[in-house]
């Protein structure tokens, strides 16, 4: 796929333009012809596959199964849970005809699948023996974005997974919600190398129809927070609406409990924005589709067989479980290849030139620091593995430092306003827990409470908004 290579703007100077260029020039994604929609290109899709593999493996190991439910949802289903309906209808794409026939009832393209899934669950569940029911779905959902869209971060259609579970009681549902939250944390921190604040949403910010919502929130370089994943205890709201009942061991009929949870391709947006630099993407090694690229430096002199040396090192690395690409394309120069693979964020590059061959070594270059080192051929596998681990840790450490530096305490409303308007990032503040204060903060600063931390933090001031006694420490920010 031909394209102008190289990012023409600095990340610091114009994050938005930089982001767009990285997304399209690195071959992650492209704009679709329908406004607000995106094409996930092969390189971007292969990152999504790695995220999916990680989650899928862990979900299956903990008793979850995959399934598939219909794309179209009757309007009457959405209306069964009133809050849910009013929350989603402004974003719903409506199907009104099939072929030349007008439909009797409008059908919504799923904005999320609670309603259509719980309609089935009500038929499937009869007894305590059927519980818990732990199902996950990999699909796409559509939510019309009328405001600004941005590839991966905010698009009218996105790929995600949505988990939907049924439990006998609150305790079991709570445990599921927290187990998934922790799985998401491991994905985000350990695979994507992105630190996140973990905790709950306020009632104002929770999922429409949920009893409570747990969330993971990260900070982007422009000072705006990004919601990375959510896990909801839906209480018995949907079970009531869809009549999901079970016969307990006590021979009585009970309303069931539900959880739902999801992460989307937005995670890829966070990886791009957080780790990238002026030369392009930097992929965390654990989710990099290509972990190592080998670029042979051609040499005319006879008797030095660089090509076969490069091939045998590529095979060795592949055999050791490393995803390696040997870039032996004749039509491009080594310099052109360096630029392209840096743009694509491949964490480790191995160069093999005539001097390397004569010394039985290779030259290894780290994408994140550009550090070069000569490594004896015998040590290539070990050194490469070490370097991949080093890049993974360095990215997480750098992002963790940035997160810490992006948190500012505020004791007064003026403080809060000033930080949000000048510095951005998270504001750590105390809150009285009244929704009125949240509304006022949102109206006057554009910031919302992103997360009420999982571990209660000690109240250090009065409510940042009304000045009355505070009950909670919370983290506020403007958000994507």
Tell me whether residue 134 or residue 193 sits nearer to a copy of itself (CB atom).
134
- Please give the angle made by the CA atoms of 172, 178 and 183, to the nearest 5 degrees: 125
Considering the rule CB under 8 A, would residue 91 count as an interface residue with a copy of itself? yes
Considering the rule CB under 8 A, would residue 441 count as an interface residue with a copy of itself? no
Q: Cα separation of 71 and 139, whole Å?
A: 9
CB of residue 108 to a copy of itself, shortest distance in Å:
10
CB of residue 267 to a copy of itself, shortest distance in Å:
15
Would the CA dihedral through 191, 195, 201, 205 be positive or negative? negative
Query: Which stretch in 134-142, 184-192, 274-282, 466-474 sits in contact with a copy of itself by CB under 8 A?
Result: 134-142
The single residue among 6, 17, 20, 41 that binds a copy of itself, judged by CB under 8 A, is 41
Report which of 110, 31, 26, 13 is spatially closest to residue 70, judged by C-alpha positions. 110
Contact 399, 188 (CB under 8 A): no
Considering the rule CB under 8 A, would residue 159 count as an interface residue with a copy of itself? yes
Considering the rule CB under 8 A, would residue 299 count as an interface residue with a copy of itself? no
Query: Which stretch in 7-15, 66-74, 252-260, 438-446 sits in contact with a copy of itself by CB under 8 A?
Result: 66-74
- CA 31 from chain centre, in angstroms, equals 19
Token pair recorded at residue 213: 């919502």
Considering the rule CB under 8 A, would residue 360 count as an interface residue with a copy of itself? no
The single residue among 81, 119, 162, 277 that binds a copy of itself, judged by CB under 8 A, is 119
Q: Cα separation of 313 and 349, whole Å?
A: 12
The position carrying tokens 């554009």 is 446
Would the CA dihedral through 241, 246, 252, 254 be positive or negative? negative
Tell me whether residue 135 or residue 387 sits nearer to a copy of itself (CB atom).
135
CA atoms within 13 A on the CB side of 405: 9
Considering the rule CB under 8 A, would residue 272 count as an interface residue with a copy of itself? no
Considering the rule CB under 8 A, would residue 34 count as an interface residue with a copy of itself? yes
Phi then psi for residue 340, to 5 deg, are -65, -45
Tell me whether residue 332 or residue 460 sits nearer to a copy of itself (CB atom).
332
Q: Which helix (H) or strand (E) holds 413?
A: helix 413-418
CB of residue 272 to a copy of itself, shortest distance in Å:
17
Tell me whether residue 249 or residue 300 sits nearer to a copy of itself (CB atom).
249
Report which of 430, 423, 420, 433 is spatially closest to residue 478, judged by C-alpha positions. 420
The position carrying tokens 């392209």 is 340
The single residue among 14, 70, 203, 312 that binds a copy of itself, judged by CB under 8 A, is 70
Contact 50, 287 (CB under 8 A): yes
Sheet with strand 472-477: strands edge to edge? 65-66, 133-142, 157-167, 257-264, 225-235, 212-219, 197-200, 448-453, 472-477, 426-431, 407-409
Residues binding a copy of itself: number (CB under 8 A): 63
Considering the rule CB under 8 A, would residue 293 count as an interface residue with a copy of itself? no
The single residue among 10, 68, 360, 404 that binds a copy of itself, judged by CB under 8 A, is 68
Considering the rule CB under 8 A, would residue 325 count as an interface residue with a copy of itself? no
Report which of 415, 414, 445, 413 is spatially closest to residue 432, judged by C-alpha positions. 413
Q: Cα separation of 37 and 33, whole Å?
A: 7
Considering the rule CB under 8 A, would residue 336 count as an interface residue with a copy of itself? no
The single residue among 15, 51, 78, 135 that binds a copy of itself, judged by CB under 8 A, is 135
Contact 26, 43 (CB under 8 A): yes
Tell me whether residue 9 or residue 41 sits nearer to a copy of itself (CB atom).
41
CB of residue 190 to a copy of itself, shortest distance in Å:
25
Contact 479, 450 (CB under 8 A): yes
Query: Which stretch in 138-146, 184-192, 334-342, 355-363 sits in contact with a copy of itself by CB under 8 A?
Result: 138-146
Tell me whether residue 159 or residue 294 sits nearer to a copy of itself (CB atom).
159
Footprint on this chain of a copy of itself (rule: CB under 8 A): 1-2, 30, 32-34, 37-42, 44-46, 48-49, 65-74, 77, 89-101, 107, 109, 116, 119-120, 123-127, 129-130, 133, 135, 139-140, 142, 144, 146, 157, 159, 331
């Amino acid at each position: 796929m031909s394209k102008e290579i190289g990012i023409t703007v600095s990340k610091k100077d114009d994050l938005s333009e930089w982001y767009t260029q990285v997304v399209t020039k690195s071959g992650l994604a492209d704009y679709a012809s329908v406004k607000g929609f995106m094409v996930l290109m092969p390189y971007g899709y292969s990152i999504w596959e790695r995220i999916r593999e990680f989650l899928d493996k862990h979900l299956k190991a903990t008793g979850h199964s995959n399934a598939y439910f219909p794309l179209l949802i009757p309007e009457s289903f959405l209306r069964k849970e009133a809050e849910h309906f009013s929350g989603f209808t402004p974003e719903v794409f409506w199907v009104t005809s099939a072929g030349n026939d007008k439909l009797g009832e409008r059908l919504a393209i799923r904005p999320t699948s609670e309603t259509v899934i719980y309609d089935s669950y009500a038929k499937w569940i009869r007894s305590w023996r059927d519980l818990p029911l732990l199902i996950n779905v990999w699909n796409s959902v559509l939510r019309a974005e009328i405001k600004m869209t941005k590839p991966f971060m905010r698009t009218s259609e996105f790929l995600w997974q949505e988990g939907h579970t049924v439990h006998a009681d609150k305790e079991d549902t709570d445990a599921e919600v927290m187990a998934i939250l922790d799985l998401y944390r491991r994905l985000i921190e350990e695979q994507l190398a992105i630190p996140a604040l973990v905790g709950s949403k306020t009632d104002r910010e929770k999922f429409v129809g949920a009893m409570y919502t747990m969330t993971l929130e990260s900070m982007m370089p422009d000072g705006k927070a990004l919601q990375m994943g959510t896990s909801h205890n839906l209480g018995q709201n949907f079970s009531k609406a869809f009549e999901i009942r079970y016969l307990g061991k006590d021979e009585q009929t009970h309303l069931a409990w539900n959880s739902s949870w999801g992460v989307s391709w937005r995670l890829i947006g966070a990886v791009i924005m957080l780790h990238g630099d002026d030369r392009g993407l930097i992929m965390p090694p654990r989710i990099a589709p290509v972990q190592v690229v080998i670029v042979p430096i051609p040499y005319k002199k006879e008797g030095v067989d660089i090509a076969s040396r490069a091939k045998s090192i590529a095979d060795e690395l592949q055999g050791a479980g490393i995803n390696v690409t040997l870039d032996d394309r004749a039509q491009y120069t080594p310099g052109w290849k360096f630029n392209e693979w840096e743009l694509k964020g491949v964490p480790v590059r191995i160069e093999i030139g005539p001097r390397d061959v004569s010394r039985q070594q290779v030259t290894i270059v780290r994408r994140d620091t550009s550090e070069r080192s000569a490594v004896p051929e015998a040590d290539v596998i070990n050194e490469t593995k070490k370097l991949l681990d080093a890049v993974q840790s360095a990215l997480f450490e750098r992002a963790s430092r940035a997160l810490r530096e992006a948190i500012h305490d505020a004791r007064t409303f003026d403080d809060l306003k000033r930080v949000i308007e000048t510095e951005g990032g998270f504001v750590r503040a105390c809150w009285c827990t009244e929704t009125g204060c949240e509304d006022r903060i949102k109206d006057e600063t554009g910031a919302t409470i992103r997360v009420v931390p999982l571990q209660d933090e000690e109240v250090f001031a009065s409510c940042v908004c009304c000045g009355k006694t505070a009950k909670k420490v919370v983290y506020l920010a403007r958000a994507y």
